[in-house]
Amino acid sequence: MRKKLVLLCMFLIVLGGNSRLVVAQEEEFRLVDVDATEETRQLYDYLRELMESEKIMFGQQHAIDEGLTLLGERPRVASEESEIFNAVGDYPAVFGWDTLSIDGFEQPGIEGDIEQSILNTVASFQKAHNLGAIITLSTHPHNFVTGGNFNDTGGNVVDAILPGGSHHQEYLEWLDRIAMVAEKSVDEEGQSIPILLRLFHEQNGSWFWWGSGSTSPDQYKSLFRFTVEYLRDVKDVHNFLYVFSPNSGATGDKEEYLTTFPGESYVDIVGIDSYDQKDDAGSESWLDGLVTNLEMVVDIANDYQKVAVFSEFGYSPQGINETGNVLDWYTRVFNAIQESDQAKQISYMLTWANFGFPDNMFVPYRDVNDDLGGDHELLPDFVEFYNDELTLFSQNLEGIYNREVNVDVIPYDAVLYPIRPTAGEVLTKETTMITFKGIGKEKERLTLEIEGVTNGEIDFKYENPIFQAELPLTSDLNGDEIEVTIRHYDDAELISEETFNYYVALEDVVIDRLDFQNEVSRVKVKANGTYPESDSELSLRETANGLHVQFDEFDASESWQEVKLELEGLDENSLQDTNRIGVTILIPSTATEKYIKAVSQWTYDFERKFGDGLTVTSIQNAESILVDGEEFKRITFTIPMIRPEETSNLAFSVVGENLENWNEFYLENVTLYNQFEFTVDKHTIDNFEIYFGDDNLMNASYASNGDPIQLSLVKDKGIEGEYVLSYAYSIATQGYAGKQISLNQNWQDMTGISLWLSVEPTPERELTVQIRVGNVSYEGYIDLTDGVEGELILPFEDFVAAPWENKPDSKITNDSLADASQFALYIGGDIGEGELLIDNIRVVE
């Protein structure tokens, strides 16, 4: 809410004997931070007023420390050199940096020296402020779990860095650096310099660890909320305005845009990132889509009384070409925006840094040093863009922080939100803690209730500001959807009630455990002999180290040396739920360069052995343990099975492979497990059986690019398994539509991609299969002109590097296949709608 009040404050200013009556305007609006500094409030009011004009500020990332015409020595701390200044004689109105500078990975930071990087970044912020510019800070933190960069999507990072997660402390330390930069960023009078903090942008794409495919919408909201609260409430940072900026997805789709919106109480500025494409830059379709998206962002900003911005844009994701550009591209873009009464309400538009050709040049240069072979061909158009009376650069900015306005901020109510698990997640652990962040009321209480599971409400334990409780999950819930009702109380008064749905797919629920290091009287271990058969029977003897199993020494030439045991007397109900067992043995270390494995059977069908080929274990690499002074190796076999189809005992065998002098082992324990049975293997990319038939759960795994696509699960289409994917697309202004999923797979020794596809003849359309391996994206193509029905195989040798990689000679190698991080399906061609049916996407040998 924001409103202009009646003129309330009047005071007399006397200057040089002349006096004038100054009327201070009163402004009232909401900010994320009710304690925001006066300068931060003034900046916000200025940005809001810009929305009511036709003028738009221009900004650039790394405006004073990156560029082809900059001569200063790196890291160019507080530099006054600028590619844009060299081009037009003025600085941008908005200067952008990233937390990579604070972390030492970008200018003006110094790699390996965080303390100096912080000081350098602060100095550059102060210089930008003195030059009259506004400062934005985006965030590209490296992967806190794997240690990889921000494009490494492995490790379930968001869960790990939120409170209670394995890497929460590392995340807090990283936030502390940001807070330190905010604290030290003061002007010459000691006043805090306002900073626009753009948290975790482009989250609807799948190329960052905080993005779609590796982070659910609710996880993202929790991350955004926690980050704001920590900086504002714990670190007392009060000179931030918080920016929310997804990537351009389905054109004008407000619902999709708001999917990850953390709430109006956590966002001051809404933006969107959108890049053109080199092969068709400045096209009418892209401009139309851009304007539609900006109109949507302005509409959302006005709905929530926020500021609207064009948070990132460029000629292409790789920037401009050295030659062969569309020579009026900048003015095309600006004119298209100005022709829309709504789109032109954005306060600023920011392009990326001039890191260098071929992949990172976003503004043209003037050859001021006579060493580049002349001015860039886009310079005249950029100069025309600069000279437009409606573009604002640094020299055009005035009166931001000395405005005759009193700004009052109305606080938002605090919000209760989940940390983990968030709504719609699949619960895989029998011991699952549910965690919420409270709102800090003195007598705050939280309870949970699960219909049909709990007997009434269960109270959470509270350690300010975190609530935690254990979800009562058992194997009989496997495969079910459960509804957990959360009730929030202030003492005895109910504040709110909300129901969260989860899916239960528990891994390795322990049904029974037999520890043979102690006497186990409730079962009998039966010796079923050996293979090849020996003259003597097996000897079974209870010891403190486990059940000692002795037998005649095997011939070392035998590749299958089997010792067979059977358990009698196990609870029948326990066996009926068993689909996985664990067997731990101690084996003499005399055969350390050999291998051993285990298999299991249900006794009604001894012919079917489970685990063969899955349990082969190197004896040499196993843990060593002393038994009566002799070295043994401890090995645990995990054997997947199917549940028994009739009454049965459990049999299992330990099988050596050409072991010498082997005539004994100790059986330490046998564990019976129940595990939810997903029908996938390590070669499966997606068979669409793992989403419980829930379209929302599936869509949360896939990120969108381009025009609208509706993914849904369809039954009874005659494909193996219960579900097949319906891929309903609509090609419109962007000319393509795509969905992508993040992976963490090893495809070494595989030779191609297989998928089942059904599509009617579709002239002038092509399906692109895009994969990212070895940190490079490659594409394979399927012509849909004549239609397709059945399985297709795309050999890796036919894939080519994606055009935007600028690596035409790059080929997929077996080494690069070790790191398969992304799979995507794109359809392009003529404008129109259609549907594909897709199933069983996998890699093949």
List, by residue number, the catalytic residues.
Answer: 202, 312
Tokens (6 digits) for 468: 């935690």
3-state secondary structure of 397: coil
Amino acid at 407: V
Say which residues have a Cβ less than 8 Å from residue 783's Cβ, sequence separation at least 6.
Answer: 766
User: From CA 532, how far away is CA 572, in angstroms rounded?
Assistant: 31
Question: How far, rounded to the nearest angstrom, does the alpha carbon of residue 355 sit from its chain's CA centroid?
Answer: 26
3-state secondary structure of 224: helix
CA dihedral of residues 205, 206, 210, 216 (deg, nearest 10)? 90
Range list of β-strands (E), 325-474: 348-351, 391-392, 405-410, 417-420, 426-427, 431-437, 444-450, 458-459, 461-463, 466-472
Tokens (6 digits) for 97: 């940096």
Pairing mode, strands 736-745 and 776-783: unpaired
Give Cα separations from 263 to 68, 242, 249, 269, 550 (angstroms): 41, 12, 20, 12, 67
Tokens (6 digits) for 651: 């049999």
User: From CA 337, how far away is CA 305, in angstroms rounded?
Assistant: 21
Q: Are 449 and 457 in contact (CB under 8 A)?
A: yes
**Torsion over CA: 386, 387, 389, 392 (sign):** positive
User: From CA 428, how far away is CA 475, in angstroms rounded?
Assistant: 10
Pairing mode, strands 702-706 and 736-745: antiparallel
Q: Are 97 and 61 in contact (CB under 8 A)?
A: yes
User: From CA 115, how far away is CA 125, in angstroms rounded?
Assistant: 16
DSSP code string of 624-691: EEEETTEEEEEEEEEEE----SSS--EEEEEEEES-SS--EEEEEEEEEEE-------TTEEE-S-TT
Say which residues have a Cβ less than 8 Å from residue 533's Cβ, sequence separation at least 6.
Answer: none
Give Cα separations from 629 to 586, 588, 626 (angstroms): 14, 12, 6
User: From CA 298, how far away is CA 347, in angstroms rounded?
Assistant: 10
Give Cα separations from 683 to 3, 840, 844 (angstroms): 59, 10, 7
Tokens (6 digits) for 225: 């909320």
3-state secondary structure of 479: coil
Question: How far, rounded to the nearest angstrom, does the alpha carbon of residue 195 sit from its chain's CA centroid?
Answer: 25
User: From CA 578, how far away is CA 790, in angstroms rounded?
Assistant: 36
**Torsion over CA: 658, 664, 669, 671 (sign):** positive
DSSP code string of 563-597: EEEEEES--HHHHHT--EEEEEEEEEGGGTTSEEE
Q: Where are the alpha helices (DSSP H) in 185-283?
A: 217-229, 254-257
Task: Return the residue matching tokens 């806190």.
Answer: 144
Closest C-alpha to 88, from 108, 63, 51: 63
Bridge partners, residue 436, by sequence? 418, 467
